Amino acid sequence: MPKAEESVLEIDLNALAHNFKTIKSQLSPGVKFMSVIKAYAYGNDSVAMAKKLEELDTDYFAVAYTEEGIKLREAGVSKPILILHPQPVNYPEIIENCLEPNLYSARTLQLFIDIAEKQKQKNYPVHLKFNTGMNRLGFTETNYHHIPEKIGKTESVKVVSAFSHLAASEDWKEREFTLSQIYKFKDLAGKLIDDIRYEPLLHLCNTSAIFNYPSATFSMVRSGLGLYGFANDPNLDEKLKPVGTLKTVISQIQNLKEGDTVGYSRAFKAEKITKTATIPIGHADGIKRIYGHGKAGVFVNGEYAPIVGNVCMDIIMIDVTHIDCQEGDEVIIFGGPQHVTKLAGAGGTISYELITGISQRVKRVIIQ
Ligand SMILES: *Cc1c(COP(=O)(O)O)cnc(C)c1O
């Protein structure tokens, strides 16, 4: 890999392929794979990821918002794309771009049917979401009856899948709750099949559930985090390869005497002779202020260098007193010696938030 000469997020497509195949190998033959590439493929690059995943023969894509789906279509992505969280205002664009909406309530189902009918659509593919305990989106047992009532009266839409989402698939302490969600889903899916008299795809598992509840994969799974190399569990993380490595470079070295201070609010005060390095990355790039004051660090020439003082918008200072290094040397923020989960933990957050938070101004470099 080339040495970083500025802040870059390196994206390793071979790692993505490894993760896709590893997760796929957990599934029974015939179970379909939906690749979740919302939020720029968790901060990576949704178009590059989608192209590679199409090559690997993923069956489906999912993104959160309509705009994300349109961007993929404009880049030539042709596999079906589920929009997980659309709003009715988006429906015309969804149809225009051959995207497939998640309809999660009587209101959204009716509004989509109205538009599809007005456009004289036949069997337009839609997905129905059940709320089995997450209490975020979806039809419950109580309002399920709207589905057969509305779907039975129209030929404009076809239910291509029904799904639900688990609230705690990574947490063994919540096993009983997760099992109750699985039973509820089975029950609602059974009702749906009886009512519409055909069998749509059924999917419930996210990455952690694929590993922790292998008998609940139904006919499709939805994996996001695992594709990018993490699975909320150190043992599972070992099977996967992190796709992204966030690197930067030393801009300048400062030699401090006792009593010198560093950065805004003079937040770091040297108690002895100290050598710091200044690096071109900051909270506007997604490395939040919480990581300052030694809470977290980065790696320089294989050695750990804690962050000193406050994280600035575009700059961070690190303590390299004990590291043999010079201006122009590479710095690793995460990837390689620094696991994303560990860095996220140091800031009191989770891998999902850290990687999706790397802002778009950080250059993405795709490694084939
Ligand atoms: C984001 C998301 C996923 C992917 O979950 P991972 O834990 O990243 O695999 C699956 N389903 C829904 C509904 C989501 O919002």
**Mean per-residue pLDDT of the chain:** 97
Backbone angles phi, psi at 179, to 5 degrees: -60, -35
**pLDDT tens for each residue of 51-77:** 999 999 999 999 999 999 999 999 999
| Statement to judge: residues 163 and 275 lie in one domain | no
Residue 362 placed within a domain: yes
Provide the CATH number for the domain around residue 81: 3.20.20.10
| Per-residue burial over 139-168, b = 16 or more CB atoms within 10 Å of its CB, e = otherwise | beeeebeebeebbeebebbbbbbbbbbbeb
Residues 346 and 267 in one domain: yes
Q: Are residues 49 and 176 in the same domain?
A: yes
Rounded-to-integer distance, Cα 268 and Cα 294, Å: 10
Tens-digit pLDDT profile for residues 209-245: 999 999 999 999 999 999 999 998 999 999 999 999 9
| Residues forming a β-bridge with 161 | 127, 201
Both tokens assigned to 212:
């922790």
Which pLDDT tens digit goes with each residue over 75-101?
A: 999 999 999 999 999 999 999 999 999
Whole-number Å distance, alpha carbon 35 to ligand 1 midpoint, is 9
Question: Per-residue pLDDT tens for 101-148?
Answer: 999 999 999 999 999 999 999 999 999 999 999 999 999 999 999 999
Residue located nearest, by CA, to atom 12 of ligand 1: 165
90 & 221 share domain:
yes
- Do 208 and 323 share a structural domain? no
pLDDT surpasses 90 at 40: yes
- Indicate if 210 and 274 belong to the same structural domain: no
Tell me the mean pLDDT in the region 139-158. 97
Percent of the chain with pLDDT over 70: 100
Do residues 181 and 273 share a domain?
Answer: no
Angle made by CA atoms 116, 146, 132, in degrees to the nearest 5:
110
Do 120 and 100 meet the contact criterion of CB atoms below 8 Å apart? no
Query: Within this chain, do residues 198 and 66 fall inside the same structural domain, yes or no?
Result: yes
Q: How far is CA 92 from CA 20, 88, 95, 98, 113, in A?
A: 33, 8, 5, 10, 12
Paired with 246 in beta bridges are 9, 334
The answer to whether residue 131 is domain-embedded is yes
CA 211 – ligand 1 centroid, Å: 14
Q: Judge if the beta carbon of residue 37 lies within 6 A of ligand 1.
A: no
Q: Is the CB of 84 under 6 A from ligand 1?
A: yes
Tell whether 313 is in a known binding site. Answer: yes
- Check which CATH number belongs to the domain holding 331 and give it: 2.40.37.10
Count the Cβ atoms, other than its own, within 10 Å of residue 170: 19
Mutation to probe ligand 1, out of 32, 36, 42 (largest number of atoms < 8 A from CB): 36
Question: Which pair of structure tokens corresponds to residue 146?
Answer: 């709207």
- Which whole number is the average pLDDT over 270-295? 98
| Catalytic residue status for 38 | yes
What totals of helices (H) and strands (E) does the chain contain, helices first?
Answer: 12, 19
Has 264 been annotated as catalytic? yes
Residue range(s) defining the domain that contains residue 175? 31-228
Q: Are strands 274-279 and 316-319 parallel, antiparallel or unpaired?
A: antiparallel
**Spacing of C-alpha 359 from chain mean position:** 14
Helices (H), 197-279: 207-212, 234-237
Q: Is residue 278 part of a domain?
A: yes
Q: Are residues 211 and 252 in the same domain?
A: no
Residues β-bridged to residue 334? 246
- The contacts of residue 342 (CB under 8 Å, 6+ apart) are none
136 is in an annotated binding site: yes
Q: Which atom of ligand 1 is nearest to the CA of 226?
A: 9
What pLDDT score was predicted for residue 53?
98
Environment class of 40 (CB within 10 Å of its CB; exposed 0-12, middle 13-18, buried 19+): buried
Q: In this model, does residue 2 exceed pLDDT 90?
A: no
Regarding the beta carbon of 223 and ligand 1, being less than 6 Å apart is answered yes
